[in-house]
């Protein structure tokens, strides 16, 4: 037989495009359209419906950037259409290739009832099936003219990312606004032809099934009357019945389709627009659930559910009904799909506390899975947080984006730093916007790495980011793929149903230990420094507010601010979303974030001040409050007293015009260029700085990645570096015990103050950068005379080791990584820590000196600032302040302690008396991360702690109040018995035993 595949396939494409798809709507009449443009921010629905619109014609331009336009469409169903299905086709000027990234609309009836969302792949509204003829149609569309930020020429700087700079030029052209007859048979024929054509293209050429489909398609095309598609569609469909009925082979891969609409809580749009995107999508999905009995939709991010409840009560009522029917499924159990690298220990825990509690309170549903398809890598401390929240599964997809190494599993056990393992799945479909195309389904089956041991995978199905979620076309395709020869099988299921099947069939999955590092988007650890500083500061202010308010509540009856803390936590958690905290959103988002963090800081400072004054009483005694988890200057952790300072610091002239700082523990030599050429540990008789090198070295790199500007830094950035050694001035600091350094470069200026606190083994570096560079990367380098094959960086509830070498492509790919408050390197018996108050990105490299002592130089570089131009062309312009400390002679415990110290400076006020800690622990390896009152208002004291050094610990916690009972709990403060040994109470003392990095939450009932 002659090979005529190309001929038939080309014929199929043209007939579908030019004749069959247009015949879905064979008759139409225009609607009358009028529009009212809201003058500023979006208005309430009632106001939009009541506004008096002006006529507008199809073809007219509309929609200033970030504007809202209320369209009114009216018309009459022709009498001749009686008995037929009629839909309104409402095209606001969509580009079908951009679902989720341009104008969108929500359709309302005149009484304000929401109907469904409009977007590029979902432009129809059902009027009647069938109609009687003569019906009056009146619909209102709340249309958002969101500008296209990520266009066909992506990553180009644009001023459209902030309403203050976007201008007023109309963005869109009003397109089709019609009433039309919907031909169900032709629509079904389109789905038949698409499913079979897409499947055929994925089958091997030698496969008999491929040729069976080809001949069936040819017969169907022959049966279509191109001048009367509607009358011939049923005959064409009958030609395909046999090939569509052939069942899948028993060994076929099995796909659990989950309706999905990944909606970034902010990204190329502001938070307020996400509120509306969620309303449009949930309206769409509840409508689809009513039409499609097999369809199941899952939505994560409790914050987005809360927005629907608050802002769209009519949609919320439909959502609640669909949840009760088991069709609309809360997923993930987190407040938002947050970044997981940068949030601190408590913040990561509270993502689950607030997320799971919302779903429990609203629906009585508890999630067993964490759902994070788009997060940029996963910190090694996350598994035990998931487990401590009462969950046991994790889903993500983003690791498939890694540039260098292909992850070896799709289903596996992920082991965290404490040994906790979480059953984890990466969908092999490699997208969280699956549309049920044949290429996607075939890719999932081919790509699945666990063949032979497992055969289930999950496919999140639907357009995200305001694209409207799952479409009726996707549901129709899935129905045909349920049991179809040559294809993987597809069934709609909840995430829990998938995980139960996947876990049951895979008794001994492989294990991956440590972080799940995304070999991409590394620069998100640095972009938008003020957003990151706002997050770090908020986390520590919340710790202080809870600690002092709880202490004051127990000691003085101070009113514990439950509602305020709950609201503030949720706001901080929202801003940890994986495009806000990582710095990859538009200018509008980060402008609002800065203002929000400032407002929250003022609120938290007020709570802290009120609680501390209640504790201290009125009096003249100078007091310092220590919120850190370790004793400082004689003040116990969580207490207040008069600080004790030992020793002093001298500043003397150094060689060649430099300076020497000395406090009896460290001797720091700063040369005439403001560089630290020596950091000598006097007790250890050990030099910290590598021979011939200098620390406090600012280095500037060009920074123009191949794509994803705010997200990425590519390895070639290191090829070019400028050491910033020229100075404007190097002088004695104002206090006479520090050194002030000023440098200028490009259009920017750096002012540093280097100080050596009395009695402390740390060199403090305060850095102010007035930054006006573009497409540059600023680093701060510390070359250390230290031989270390690995180093530790802090993560949630512990630390994680990374190699300093690049033996394999896996290590080489980690050229930029995340730490929280410290990195630590050591040789046996002596180490060095670099601690920070607000930076996350860093790199560590090592070289062997070829001259002199042939020792090893290990260089730690802190990432300070970047200047990408997309999506925010003004990223990080302006003044920034950072604090770092170099800690010679530091063990891991010193690194932990100094990391807390630099982030929790003591607060000073006068009072009547010292304040004893509410709780204290007798082992410095056991760190208390939270002291608070129980969320249920019972007055119980909740203490969260963890082993921080990486070893086993036996510690006694002493309460400064009468304890009637103690219970180990999960993160939601419910009794939990998963610890190795239960806490033992003896009066007001509680003894605990912890494995390395184990976190433990204790609930102390007051007597």
Catalytically active residues, by annotation: 374
Q: Is 3 exposed, middle or buried (0-12, 13-18, 19+ CB in 10 A)?
A: exposed
How far apart are the C-alpha atoms of 620 and 885, rounded to whole Å? 33
Number of Cβ within a 10 Å radius of residue 910: 13
Phi, psi of 966 (to 5 degrees): -135, 140
In angstroms, how far is CA 73 from the centroid of its own chain? 39
- Asked if 754 contacts 739 with a C-beta cutoff of 8 angstroms, the reply is yes
Strand order in the sheet with 136-145: 54-55, 32-37, 67-76, 136-145, 104-108, 114-118
Task: Using only the alpha carbons of the chain, give its radius of gyration.
Answer: 31
> What is the token pair recorded at 114?
């929401």
Residue owning tokens 């069938």: 130
Matching residue, tokens 């929000």 = 596
Query: What is the torsional sign of CA 940, 941, 947, 953?
Result: negative
What is d(CA 356, CA 335) in angstroms, rounded to the nearest whole number?
A: 8
- Measure CA 427 to chain center: 18
With tokens 């509410």, the residue in question is 918
Name the β-bridge partners of 1004: 941, 966
Cα 941 → chain centroid? 31
Phi-psi region of 321 (alpha: psi -120 to 50; beta: other; left: phi over 0): alpha
What tokens were used for 750? 């750096």
Q: Give yes or no for a contact between 187 and 87, defined as CB atoms under 8 angstroms apart.
A: no
Nearest to 786 by CA among 749, 818, 830, 745: 830
Measure Cα distances from 987 to 280, 716, 961 in Å: 56, 61, 10
DSSP state of 636: P
- Terminal CA-to-CA distance of the chain, rounded, Å? 90
Sheet holding 841-848, edge to edge: 722-724, 697-702, 776-785, 856-866, 841-848, 817-818
- Is there a cis peptide before residue 888, judged by omega within 30 degrees of 0? no
Q: Kindly compute the dihedral angle of the four CA atoms of residues 309, 315, 320, 324, in this order, to the nearest 10 degrees.
A: -160
The answer to whether 941 and 975 are in contact (CB under 8 A) is: no
Give the Cα-Cα-Cα angle 895, 901, 904 (nearest 5 degrees). 140
Q: For 268-298, give one letter per residue: b (16+ CB within 10 A) or e.
A: bbbbebbbbbbbbbbbbbbbbbeebeebbbb
Determine whether 830 is exposed, middle or buried from the number of CB atoms within 10 Å of its CB (0-12, 13-18, 19+).
Answer: middle
What is the rounded distance in angstroms from the CA atom of residue 999 to the CA atom of residue 491?
Answer: 39
For the chain, the residue count is 1007
């Amino acid at each position: 037989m002659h090979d005529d595949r190309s001929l038939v396939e080309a014929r199929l494409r043209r007939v579908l495009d030019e004749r069959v798809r247009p015949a879905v709507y064979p008759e139409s009449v225009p609607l009358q359209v009028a529009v009212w443009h809201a003058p500023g921010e979006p208005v309430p629905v009632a106001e939009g419906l009541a506004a008096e619109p002006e006529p507008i014609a199809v073809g007219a331009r509309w929609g200033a950037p970030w504007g809202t336009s209320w369209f009114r469409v009216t018309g009459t169903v022709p009498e001749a259409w009686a008995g037929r299905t009629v839909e309104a086709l409402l095209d606001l000027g969509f580009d079908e290739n951009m679902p989720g990234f341009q104008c969108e609309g929500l359709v309302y009836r005149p009484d304000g009832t929401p109907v469904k969302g409009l977007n590029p792949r979902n432009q129809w509204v059902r009027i009647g099936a069938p109609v009687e003829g003569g019906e009056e149609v009146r619909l209102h569309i709340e249309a958002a003219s969101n500008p296209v930020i990520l266009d066909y020429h992506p990553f180009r700087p644009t001023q459209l990312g902030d309403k203050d700079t976007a201008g007023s030029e109309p963005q869109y052209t009003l397109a089709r606004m019609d009433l039309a007859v919907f031909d169900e048979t032709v629509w079904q024929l389109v789905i038949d032809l698409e499913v079979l054509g897409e499947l055929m293209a994925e089958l091997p050429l030698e496969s008999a099934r491929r040729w069976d489909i080809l001949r069936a398609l040819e017969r169907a095309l022959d049966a279509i009357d191109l001048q009367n598609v509607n009358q011939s569609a049923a005959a064409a469909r009958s030609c395909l019945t046999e090939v569509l009925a052939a069942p899948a082979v028993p060994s076929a891969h099995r796909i659990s389709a989950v309706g999905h609409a990944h909606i970034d809580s902010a990204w190329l749009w502001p938070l307020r627009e996400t509120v509306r995107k969620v309303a449009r999508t949930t309206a769409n999905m509840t409508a689809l659930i009513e039409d499609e009995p097999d369809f199941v939709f899952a939505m994560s991010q409790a914050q987005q559910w809360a927005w629907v409840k608050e802002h769209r009560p009519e949609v919320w009522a439909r959502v609640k009904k669909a949840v009760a029917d088991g069709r609309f499924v809360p997923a993930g159990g987190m407040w938002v799909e947050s970044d997981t690298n940068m949030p601190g220990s408590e913040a990561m825990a509270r993502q689950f506390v607030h997320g799971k509690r919302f779903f429990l309170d609203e629906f009585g549903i508890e999630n067993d899975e964490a759902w994070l398809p788009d997060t940029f890598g996963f910190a090694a401390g996350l598994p035990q947080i998931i487990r401590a929240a009462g969950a046991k599964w994790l889903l993500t997809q983003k690791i498939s984006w890694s540039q260098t190494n292909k992850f070896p599993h799709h289903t596996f056990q992920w082991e965290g730093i404490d040994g906790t393992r979480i059953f984890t799945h990466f969908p092999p479909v490699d997208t969280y916007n699956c549309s049920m195309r044949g290429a996607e389904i075939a890719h999932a089956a081919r790509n699945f790495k666990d063949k032979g041991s497992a055969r289930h995978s999950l496919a999140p199905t639907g357009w995200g980011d305001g694209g409207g979620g799952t479409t009726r076309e996707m549901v129709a395709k899935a129905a045909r793929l349920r049991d179809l020869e040559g294809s993987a099988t597809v069934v709609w299921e909840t995430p829990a149903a998938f995980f139960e099947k996947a876990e049951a069939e895979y008794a001994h999955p492989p294990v991956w230990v440590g972080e799940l590092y995304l070999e991409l988007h590394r620069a998100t650890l640095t972009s938008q420094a003020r957003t990151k500083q706002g997050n770090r500061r908020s986390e520590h202010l919340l710790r202080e507010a809870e600690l002092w308010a709880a202490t004051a509540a127990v000691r003085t009856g101070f009113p514990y601010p439950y509602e305020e803390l709950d609201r503030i936590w949720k706001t901080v958690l929202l801003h940890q979303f994986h495009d806000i905290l990582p710095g990859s959103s538009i200018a509008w988002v980060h402008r609002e974030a800065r203002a929000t963090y400032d407002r929250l800081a003022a609120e938290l400072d007020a709570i802290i001040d009120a609680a501390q004054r209640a504790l201290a009483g009125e009096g003249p005694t100078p007091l310092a409050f220590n919120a850190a988890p370790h004793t400082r200057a004689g003040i116990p952790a969580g207490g207040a007293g008069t600080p004790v300072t030992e020793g002093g610091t001298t500043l003397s002239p150094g060689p060649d015009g430099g300076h020497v700082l000395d406090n009896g523990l460290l001797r720091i030599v700063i040369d005439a260029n403001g560089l630290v050429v020596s950091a000598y540990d006097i007790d250890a008789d050990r030099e910290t700085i590598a021979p011939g090198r200098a620390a406090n070295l600012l280095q500037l790199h060009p920074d123009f990645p191949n794509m994803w500007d705010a997200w990425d830094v590519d390895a070639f950035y290191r090829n070019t570096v400028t050491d910033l050694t020229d100075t404007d001035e190097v002088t004695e600091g104002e206090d006479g015990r520090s050194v002030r350094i000023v440098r200028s470069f490009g259009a920017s200026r750096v002012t540093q103050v280097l100080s050596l606190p009395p009695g402390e083994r740390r060199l403090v570096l305060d850095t102010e950068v007035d930054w006006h560079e573009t497409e540059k990367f600023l680093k701060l380098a510390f070359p250390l005379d230290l031989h270390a094959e690995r180093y530790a960086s802090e993560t949630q509830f512990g630390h994680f080791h990374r190699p300093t070498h690049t033996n394999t492509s896996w290590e080489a790919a980690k050229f930029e990584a995340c730490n929280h408050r410290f990195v630590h390197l050591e040789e046996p018996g002596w180490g060095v820590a670099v601690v920070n108050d607000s930076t996350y990105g860093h790199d560590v490299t090592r070289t062997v000196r070829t001259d002199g002592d042939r020792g090893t130089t290990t260089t730690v570089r802190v990432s300070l600032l970047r200047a990408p131009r997309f999506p925010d062309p003004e990223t990080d312009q302006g003044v920034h302040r950072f604090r770092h400390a170099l800690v010679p002679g530091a063990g891991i415990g010193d690194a932990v302690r100094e990391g807390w110290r630099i982030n929790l400076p003591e607060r000073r006020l006068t009072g009547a008396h010292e304040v004893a800690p509410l709780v204290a622990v007798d082992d410095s390896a056991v760190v208390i991360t939270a002291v608070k009152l129980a969320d249920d208002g019972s007055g119980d004291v909740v203490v969260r702690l963890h082993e921080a050094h990486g070893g086993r610990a036996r510690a006694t916690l002493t309460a400064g109040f009468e304890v009637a009972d103690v219970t180990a709990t999960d993160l939601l403060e419910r009794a939990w018995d998963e610890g190795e040994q239960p806490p033992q109470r003896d009066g007001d003392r509680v003894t605990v035993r912890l494995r390395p990095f184990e976190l433990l939450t204790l609930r102390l009932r007051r007597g």
